[in-house]
Amino acid sequence: MTVPFIDSFRADGSVINLAALEPADIDFAAMAAGLSKLARYNAACSCAAYSVAQHSVMGADALMRETGDAVLAGYFLLHDGHEYLIGDITRPALKLLDHHYTTEHRRRYRNRPAGHLTVAAALTRAKAELDAVVHQAAALPPLKSMPLYARQVHDMDERMLRAETRALFGPKATQHLPSDNLPPPKLTGAILPWGAAKAELAFVERLGRYLNIIARPA
C-alpha cells in the first residue's frame, strides 16, 4: 500500500509527513510549546485555559510521588505527546463524529451496519502509531510491551480526568463521568490553570528530570 504524504507544519514553516513519521521528526521542545498552548476540555471551563502540558506534568508528578518510578512518570508525561501533532480531539467530539459516521454509512449503504470500523478505532490506531515513534525518540520501549505501565498510565489519565473535572467545573460535573473506584491522584499542588509559559517550562523540566531529555524552550 502506498503511504500518503500527510503534511503538517513545523514552527519554521517546513513540514513533516504524519503518515511516515520518524523518530528524528520528533521535536520535544516543540512538543512542550505546542501542548502548553493546547487547552483540555475544548477550553469550556470558565477559568483560564488548562493545558495538555499542565495535565501531563501534574499526572507525571503524581505518579512519581506515588511510585517513585521516574520511567513510569516519563511515560505519563508523554502519553498525550501525539497531540502536539494532531491536536486534542475530545471524547464528546469523537462520539459526535462516530454518530455521524454511522448515520452516513447507513444512508449510503442502505442501512447496512458499519461493523467495527469507527472513527474512534481509526483514531486509536493513529495515536498508537504516533506514540510508538515518540517513545522511540525518547529511547523508551513501546508502551504496549509493558502492560503494567500501560494500565497505570491509563488509570492515572482517568484519575486526573475526575480530579480536573471537579476542580475546573465543580462537583456537579463529576455526576456526568462514568463511575469508578480509582483513588484520587496524589497531586503536588492544586489544579489551578497555569499560563502557557509556565506549563511549557514545567514540561521541559520534567523531560529532563524523568527521561533525561534535554529540550530547549522556543
**Is residue 156 a contact partner of residue 63, using CB atoms and an 8 Å limit?**
yes
Q: How far apart are CA 101 and CA 107, in angstroms?
A: 10
User: Taking the chain, what is the end-to-end CA distance rounded to the nearest angstrom?
Assistant: 37
Helices and strands counted in the chain (H then E) = 8, 2
Within a domain: 129: yes
Can you give the pLDDT at residue 111? 65
* Residues 6+ positions from 149 with CB-CB distance below 8 Å: 71, 72, 75, 143
The torsion of the CA quartet 145, 122, 4, 132, rounded to 10 degrees, works out to -20
Can you give the pLDDT at residue 112? 65
Task: Pull the grid cell for residue 112.
Answer: 447496512
Within a domain: 175: no
Can you give the pLDDT at residue 102? 82
Task: Pull the grid cell for residue 94.
Answer: 469523537
Can you give the pLDDT at residue 107? 75
Within a domain: 182: no
Q: How far apart are CA 169 and CA 17, in angstroms?
A: 37
Helix (H, G, I), strand (E, B) or coil at 172: helix
Can you give the pLDDT at residue 178? 83
* Regions of the chain where pLDDT drops below 50: none
Within a domain: 27: yes
Within a domain: 1: no
Within a domain: 121: yes
Within a domain: 97: yes
* CATH code for position 126: 1.10.3210.10
DSSP 8-state secondary structure symbol assigned to residue 51: B
Within a domain: 89: yes
Can you give the pLDDT at residue 114? 60
Task: Pull the grid cell for residue 35.
Answer: 501542548
Can you give the pLDDT at residue 216? 84
How many CB atoms lie under 10 A from the CB of residue 62? 21
The number of folded domains in the chain is 1
Can you give the pLDDT at residue 106? 73
Range of the domain at 107: 7-153+189-211
